[in-house]
Amino acid sequence: MPVLKETAKAKVNLTLRILGRRPDGFHELESLVAFAEIGDVLKLEPGDGLGIAVGGPFAGSLGEDNLVAEAARRVGAICPSCRAGRFHLEKNLPVAAGIGGGSSDAAAALRLLLEANPEHLGHQDVARLCPQLGADVAVCLDQRFAVMWGLGEKVSALEALPRTPVVLVNPGVALATADVFRALDAGRYEGMDRQSLDDTHPAFDTVGDLVAYLESKGNDLEQAAIGLAPIVGDVKASLSAQAGCLIARMSGSGATCFGVFDGQASARQAADRLGRAHPEWWVVTSNLA
């Protein structure tokens, strides 16, 4: 079998609502999620055994024992006859950045193992493994515009998002999700189900429709993250100040922020200005879909 390849796209939380802390210590949430056209690249050379090599600009932040290897081990546990092989992960996304890098890598590994073992595995088999690997892995499996809720394991795909120009900026500060949730100090979860929420998720025909919706929504973790890393507020403000930026938000638990722009040209110009002003920041342009 030839070498298989997947892109583990960056996940962007357009909204993030924290409903409360459950008795088990985890948090109920609801989030509108889109995916950028950029991401890590994962390749698999199917064969016996399991190996993984990591390269790319953010390889130094990971060891060989990461979520790709864990995904392969969990597939092996439910399917001893499945073959894995040699993975190579090109780590292009910053780590602990609020854009689902590790979760997206794990989901890409599941997709590759599914492709390598069609006679032994089905989509439902790998989908059941997602919650064991992390709260964001389920939404990253199909990489579609969606709403996720519960702990993140419940996912409902939405009508396709119009191609939306964005600039993603990370200041080079890692924020651990657990630390941000602790700083939030959310109240007790009262048991509301998604149907009882006042949020609705309409179809977005234009970028303007999306921005109008986001103007009344936010990210409940943003202020907690800024309290831990004030530079997140600086990044968001810098994005908001760029010509053509329609709205700026933090993604996930940070520290990456995104700005939605009125066109590709203004997004590229903004990224160029920010990159020159802050060469230590990770600044990229992309599109959401």
Give the pLDDT confidence of 15-66 residue by residue, as tens digits. 999 988 888 878 999 999 999 999 999 999 999 999 999 999 999 877 655 8
Last residue within a domain, chosen from 123, 142, 157: 157
Residues 24, 146: one domain?
yes
The C-alpha R_g of the chain, in whole angstroms, comes to: 19
CATH number at residue 216: 3.30.70.890
Q: How many domains does the chain have?
A: 2
User: pTM of the predicted model, to two decimals?
Assistant: 0.94
Residues 177, 63: one domain?
no
What is the extent of the structural domain holding 172?
Answer: 164-288
Q: Please, is 230 exposed, middle or buried when counting C-beta atoms within 10 Å of its C-beta (0-12, 13-18, 19+)?
A: exposed
Give the pLDDT confidence of 69-81 residue by residue, as tens digits. 999 999 999 999 9
Q: Residue 56 contacts by C-beta under 8 Å, 6 or more apart in sequence?
A: 40, 41, 89, 90, 91, 92
Give the pLDDT confidence of 211-252 residue by residue, as tens digits. 999 998 999 999 999 999 999 999 999 999 999 999 999 999
Last residue within a domain, chosen from 157, 184, 209: 157
Give the pLDDT confidence of 167-215 residue by residue, as tens digits. 999 999 989 988 999 999 888 887 766 555 455 667 899 999 999 999 9
Give the pLDDT confidence of 120-167 residue by residue, as tens digits. 999 999 999 999 999 899 999 999 999 999 989 999 999 999 999 999
Beta strands in the chain (DSSP E): 4-21, 27-47, 50-55, 84-90, 146-150, 154-157, 164-170, 245-250, 257-261, 282-288
Question: Which residue numbers are catalytic?
Answer: 11, 136
- My answer on whether omega of the bond before 255 falls inside 30° of 0, hence cis, is yes
Give the pLDDT confidence of 74-119 residue by residue, as tens digits. 999 999 999 999 999 999 999 989 999 899 999 999 999 999 999 9
